[in-house]
């Protein structure tokens, strides 16, 4: 008798536009030999962004420690009349040796399921430094409340899974949203509650609009547990202003919600100031806060290595209702054994940049500033070209790695998905349609990652402008 192998409907139902039909079409075109420019995803090194030398030199030594001492020996052995090779600075040799001494069991062993304590301590120091916490001033990060994860995604899924206890549980997410949230909530069988940042005022937020979404959900008997904020935002690239952040905190406090603060783009602000939710929350002891960061974005862009962490403040257990919240998170992490050690090492590196005056500092800083300046310049080039496209507007400060222009006039019957598909077919430029992220009804957008090399942009932008104006003029 054949068993019924029907599949989990929640998994079948979930959507994931970033690697949906446009991604598949792009793969197909590439197989046909066409040039495709993958701006559908924030994957900088796939578009030629170089890795940070300091990070990679350390990773290289961690994988093969005999080369730490060999490097020291070789430095003394090369004949002076031979061109100096680019030796690895002593600072980096010492740094790698020190890392391995603290790691104890090297890169090939499972670590503590939360990640090694010394890395979580470095993360806490990084957070405190970023937020200006000093002894007696501000609330210090607690290393035992930090978990290292395979990218930020894993941590987000883990906490959503813990909070969505039944089909009536809901989580508020911004629209447009990063589809990890909508997909995971769907997979867990929970309720997605939309809230709408105001596009024309630069994707800012008001308590009123949040209250409106919440009230509607509660009228529908949804038990709303948390609100997700992505800052800088994905897909819009917008940077949340201080006032919006404080309104969200007040709103969460008043309504007993936990906050998910997705801050993986915290280094992609291009001159704007970053205010973390941890800092804005201050000494509030009531609002559970889950903050996420990763090694995938910023100037480091090490997506493939899947390094991430999350930090918990005011774990729900501390209010007495859910004893042992951190212990339950630990148990969840244990089933996966541990996150990958290369990603862990990158999180340590991200938390421990070379100090001013150290041997690798100048190169590190030059690379960092160079990558960020380049990204900002490329965003500017794309924004400029919107001016030449009929009926295209783009709101908000430039942050993250994305622009999210609005199309005020599409031909009758055409959707932004149709637009993106035609754009891909005609120019090779791969973007994601706004509807893939959710958007206010009746609006049309696309998301473009501002990552391709400048000469690629110089080539494709005029072709996009031409495509666009032909498309909308019909």
Regarding 154 and contact with its own copies (CB under 8 A), the answer is yes
Sole window of 121-129, 331-339, 373-381, 409-417 interacting with its own copies (rule: CB under 8 A): 331-339
Can you tell me which of 100, 142, 326, 328 binds its own copies, judged by CB under 8 A?
A: 328
Regarding 373 and contact with its own copies (CB under 8 A), the answer is no
Can you tell me which of 12, 200, 242, 408 binds its own copies, judged by CB under 8 A?
A: 12
Regarding 320 and contact with its own copies (CB under 8 A), the answer is no
Residue number, 180 or 461, with CB nearest to its own copies: 180
Can you tell me which of 8, 35, 215, 409 binds its own copies, judged by CB under 8 A?
A: 8
Can you tell me which of 89, 96, 143, 151 binds its own copies, judged by CB under 8 A?
A: 151
Regarding 436 and contact with its own copies (CB under 8 A), the answer is no
Neighbours of 72 (CB within 10 A): 15
Closest CA to 263 of 313, 288, 297: 297
Rounded least distance, CB 117 to its own copies, Å: 10
For 284, list phi and psi in degrees, rounded to 5.
-55, 135
Length of the chain: 474
Regarding 451 and contact with its own copies (CB under 8 A), the answer is no
Cα–Cα distance between 299 and 268 in angstroms, integer?
7
Sole window of 175-183, 191-199, 266-274, 367-375 interacting with its own copies (rule: CB under 8 A): 175-183
Question: Which uninterrupted H or E stretch holds 195?
Answer: strand 191-195
Rounded least distance, CB 84 to its own copies, Å: 11
How many C-alpha atoms does 420 have within 13 Å on its Cβ side?
31
Residue number, 183 or 245, with CB nearest to its own copies: 183
Question: Do 372 and 242 contact (CB within 8 A), yes or no?
Answer: no
Regarding 57 and contact with its own copies (CB under 8 A), the answer is yes
Provide DSSP, 375-416: HHHHHHHHHHHHTTSTTEE--S---TTEE--EES---TT--H
Q: Indicate the SS3 state at residue 93.
A: helix
Interface of this chain with its own copies, residues 218 to 257, rule: CB under 8 A = 223-225, 254-257
Residue number, 322 or 422, with CB nearest to its own copies: 322
Q: Indicate the SS3 state at residue 292.
A: strand
Residue number, 145 or 157, with CB nearest to its own copies: 157
Regarding 51 and contact with its own copies (CB under 8 A), the answer is yes
Paired with 407 in beta bridges are 392
Interface of this chain with its own copies, residues 402 to 431, rule: CB under 8 A = none
Closest CA to 310 of 44, 124, 177, 110: 124
# residues near its own copies by CB under 8 A: 96
Q: Indicate the SS3 state at residue 191.
A: strand
Residue number, 30 or 440, with CB nearest to its own copies: 30
Question: Do 189 and 10 contact (CB within 8 A), yes or no?
Answer: yes
> Helices (H), strands (E): how many in the chain?
16, 14
Site string for its own copies, 278-317 (x = CB under 8 A): ----------x------------xxxxxx---------x-
Interface of this chain with its own copies, residues 69 to 108, rule: CB under 8 A = 70, 73-74, 77-79, 82, 85-86, 105-108
Question: Do 169 and 193 contact (CB within 8 A), yes or no?
Answer: no
Q: What is the DSSP letter of 434?
A: G
Regarding 4 and contact with its own copies (CB under 8 A), the answer is yes
């Amino acid at each position: 008798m054949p068993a019924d192998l029907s599949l989990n409907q929640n998994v079948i139902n979930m959507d994931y536009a970033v690697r949906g039909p446009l991604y598949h079409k792009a793969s197909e075109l590439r197989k046909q030999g066409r040039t495709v420019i993958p701006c559908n995803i924030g994957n900088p090194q796939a578009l030629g962004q170089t890795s940070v030398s300091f990070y990679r030199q350390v990773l290289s030594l961690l994988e093969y420690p005999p080369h730490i001492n060999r490097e020291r020996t070789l430095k003394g052995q090369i004949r002076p009349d031979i061109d100096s090779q680019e030796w690895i600075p002593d600072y980096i040799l010492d740094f790698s040796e020190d890392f391995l001494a603290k790691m104890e069991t090297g890169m090939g062993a499972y670590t503590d399921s939360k990640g090694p304590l010394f890395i979580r301590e470095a993360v806490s120091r990084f957070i405190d430094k970023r937020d200006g916490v000093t002894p007696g001033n501000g609330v210090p990060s607690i290393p035992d409340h930090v978990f290292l994860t395979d990218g930020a995604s894993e941590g987000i899924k883990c906490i959503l899974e813990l909070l969505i206890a039944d089909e009536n549980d809901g989580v508020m997410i911004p629209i447009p949203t990063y589809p990890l949230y909508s997909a995971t909530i769907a997979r867990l069988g929970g309720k997605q509650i939309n809230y709408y940042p105001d596009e024309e005022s630069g994707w800012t937020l008001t308590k009123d609009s949040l209250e409106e979404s919440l009230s509607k959900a509660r009228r529908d008997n949804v038990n709303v547990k948390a609100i997700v904020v992505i800052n800088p935002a994905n897909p819009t690239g917008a940077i949340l202003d201080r006032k919006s952040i404080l309104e969200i905190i007040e709103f969460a406090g008043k309504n007993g919600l936990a906050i998910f603060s997705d801050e993986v783009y915290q280094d992609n602000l291009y001159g704007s100031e970053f205010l973390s939710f941890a800092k804005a929350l201050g000494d509030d002891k009531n609002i559970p806060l889950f903050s996420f960061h990763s090694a995938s974005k910023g100037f480091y862009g090490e997506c493939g290595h899947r390094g991430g962490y999350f930090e918990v403040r005011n774990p729900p257990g501390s209010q007495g209702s859910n004893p042992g919240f951190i212990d339950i998170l630990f148990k969840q992490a244990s089933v996966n054994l541990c996150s990958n050690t290369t990603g862990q090492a990158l999180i340590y590196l991200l938390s421990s940049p070379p100090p001013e005056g150290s041997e690798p500092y100048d190169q590190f800083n030059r690379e960092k500033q160079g990558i960020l300046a380049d990204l900002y310049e490329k965003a500017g080039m794309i924004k400029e070209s919107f001016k030449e496209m009929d009926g295209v507007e783009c709101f908000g400060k430039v942050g993250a790695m994305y622009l999210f222009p609005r199309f005020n006039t599409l031909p009758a019957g055409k959707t932004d998905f149709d637009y993106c598909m035609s754009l891909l077919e005609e120019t090779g430029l791969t973007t994601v349609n706004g509807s893939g992220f959710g958007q206010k009804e009746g609006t049309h957008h696309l998301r473009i990652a501002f990552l391709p090399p400048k000469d690629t942009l110089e080539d494709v932008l005029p072709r996009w402008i031409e495509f666009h104006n032909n498309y909308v003029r019909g």
